[in-house]
Every structure is written in C-alpha cells, then in structure tokens.
C-alpha cells in the first residue's frame, strides 16, 4: 500500500501516539511534541495522502486507518500499551482503536474530537451559507488530503458495531471558543457541547478539560493545556497498571 511518514523519539511507557485531524500534517504537533518526548516514547505520523506519506486509492475507513497505524507501530517498534491522542477526526480513529484493541490501549485523549453523534446532528443544522462556504473552500483549496472525509459515516458505523469502550483513563479536551455564528449556528454549538459531555460516559475514568482560549486546535493555541491532559492520562494509566 505504501509507506507512512513518521517521527519517533523519547523513551518510556506507555507510548504516546499522536493521531492528526483530517488533512493535517505532523507539523501540527510542533508546540507540544518537544515536551511530550520528555514524558515517554512518542510517535507522530502522516496518514496516507498527507505530507510525505504515499497516496492510496483504498477507502480510508476507520478500520483501514487503525490497521495501518498498528502496522506502523509494529514496524517502528513502538510497543503497547499506548496513550492515543486523537485530534478532530483522529478522535474517531482512536475511539475505534480502543474498542478493537483494548489490551493495547492504556489511555485516550480526545482533542476537540467529534462525537459520533455529531455527524448526523450537526449535518442537519448546516445553513445554506455554511454549505456555500464549504464548497467555495474546496474549490479554492481542493478536497482535503487523505481521502478520509467521505468515509466518516462508515467510520461512525464501525464504532457503533465495535465492542464497548474499555475502562481506561480518558481526557476530553474541548475548545471553549465557539466558531462565528455564520459558520456554526448557536444551536449547533450547543449540540456539539452536549455531545462533548457525552464522552464522559465512555469510562468511569473520564474527565473534561475546557481550553477556554481555543477553538478547534488547542494544541496550537493552548499547548500547555494539551500537554497537561496527556500527562494526567499517562499518570492515571500508570496508576491503573500498578493497581492491577
């Protein structure tokens, strides 16, 4: 299928695995990566079609993304258990990974990630202006790299059909700044905020962190908040291992 571009450094367990948002490259982690490699082994990578990774015509459903990631982790000798950090659509992938391979996962950080319920609820609330803006941006910039967005609905279905989420530490990092109303109506913002709180039912060890000064990319606007959330999940995962 082709090679994936990655960067790996640091040492120690659990291993930290950074999973990008749609079309986002490794460089999007530059404000947190240096500190994370001091906390343990860390890997960031570009999925197919992004950055220096090979392109693929294969459908990039959640299961395909998880399979490719596990192959990369094995090939680069990044060993489980993993703390999976998923930004944006990457949150769907780590959600699915934890359900499919619970013994390999020590904890999860959902970084302004969509809840599976978002796709239907927010899709129905898009205004005509929002749809025109999306089409205009795609015309100017081209479709998102990676061939993933068209398969998001399939990924959500795969999450629903998978096993239940394991009892692992989960930090839900939510951007506190709402988008402008022309981009997302207030009613849609309220739905999304409610769905962010739904994540707390994934595990008895789940908590929410609101990045008050951030929109969709807290790792860029409030890196200390993101680093703190990852550190807390690492500590909780290590404590859980000691108790077992």
Q: Give domain status of residue 85, yes or no.
A: yes
* Integer Cα distance of 99 and 166 in angstroms: 7
Q: Give domain status of residue 244, yes or no.
A: no
* Integer Cα distance of 32 and 235 in angstroms: 17
| Closest to 196 measured CA to CA, from 166, 167, 182, 176 | 176
* Integer Cα distance of 101 and 122 in angstroms: 29
Q: Give domain status of residue 141, yes or no.
A: yes
Tokens representing residue 55 in the block: 């392109």
Contact predicate 44/77, CB 8 Å: no
Give the global pTM: 0.91
Q: Give domain status of residue 1, yes or no.
A: no
Q: Is the pLDDT of residue 128 over 70?
A: no
Q: Give domain status of residue 23, yes or no.
A: yes
First to last CA, the chain: 39
* Integer Cα distance of 56 and 207 in angstroms: 37
pLDDT tens digits, one per residue of 159-198? 999 999 999 999 999 999 988 877 778 888 899 999 999 9
Instruction: Pick 198 or 149 by higher pLDDT.
Output: 198
Q: The domain spanning residue 89 has which CATH number?
A: 3.40.50.1820
Tokens representing residue 21 in the block: 């948002």
Instruction: Pick 22 or 135 by higher pLDDT.
Output: 22
Tokens representing residue 41 in the block: 């082994």
Radius of gyration of the chain (CA): 17
pLDDT tens digits, one per residue of 11-26? 999 999 999 999 899 9
Total number of domains constituting the chain: 1
Among 61-70, 199-208, 233-242, the range scoring the smallest mean pLDDT is: 233-242
The whole domain housing 112 covers: 6-239
Tokens representing residue 178 in the block: 């709402």
């Amino acid at each position: 299928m082709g090679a994936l571009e990655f960067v790996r450094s640091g040492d120690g367990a659990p291993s930290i695995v950074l999973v990008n948002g749609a079309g986002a490259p490794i460089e999007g982690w530059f404000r947190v990566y240096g500190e994370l490699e001091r906390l343990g082994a860390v890997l960031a990578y570009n999925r197919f079609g992004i950055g220096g990774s090979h392109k693929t015509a294969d459908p990039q459903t959640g299961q395909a993304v998880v399979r490719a990631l596990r192959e990369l982790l094995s090939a680069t000798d990044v060993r489980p258990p993993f703390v999976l950090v998923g930004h944006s659509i990457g949150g769907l992938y780590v959600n699915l990974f934890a359900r499919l391979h619970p013994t390999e996962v020590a904890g999860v950080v959902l970084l302004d990630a969509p809840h599976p319920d978002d796709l239907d609820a927010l899709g129905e609330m898009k205004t005509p202006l929002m749809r025109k803006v999306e089409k205009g941006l795609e015309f100017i910039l081209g479709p998102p790299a990676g061939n993933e967005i068209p398969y998001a609905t399939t990924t959500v279905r795969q999450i629903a059909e998978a096993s239940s989420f394991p009892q692992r530490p989960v930090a839900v990092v939510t951007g506190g700044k709402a988008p402008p109303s022309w981009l997302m109506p207030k009613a849609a913002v309220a739905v999304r905020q409610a769905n962010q709180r739904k994540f707390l039912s994934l595990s008895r060890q789940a908590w929410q962190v609101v990045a008050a000064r951030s929109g969709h990319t807290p790792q860029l606007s409030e890196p200390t908040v993101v680093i703190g959330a990852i550190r807390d999940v690492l500590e909780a995962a290590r404590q859980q291992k000691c108790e077992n």
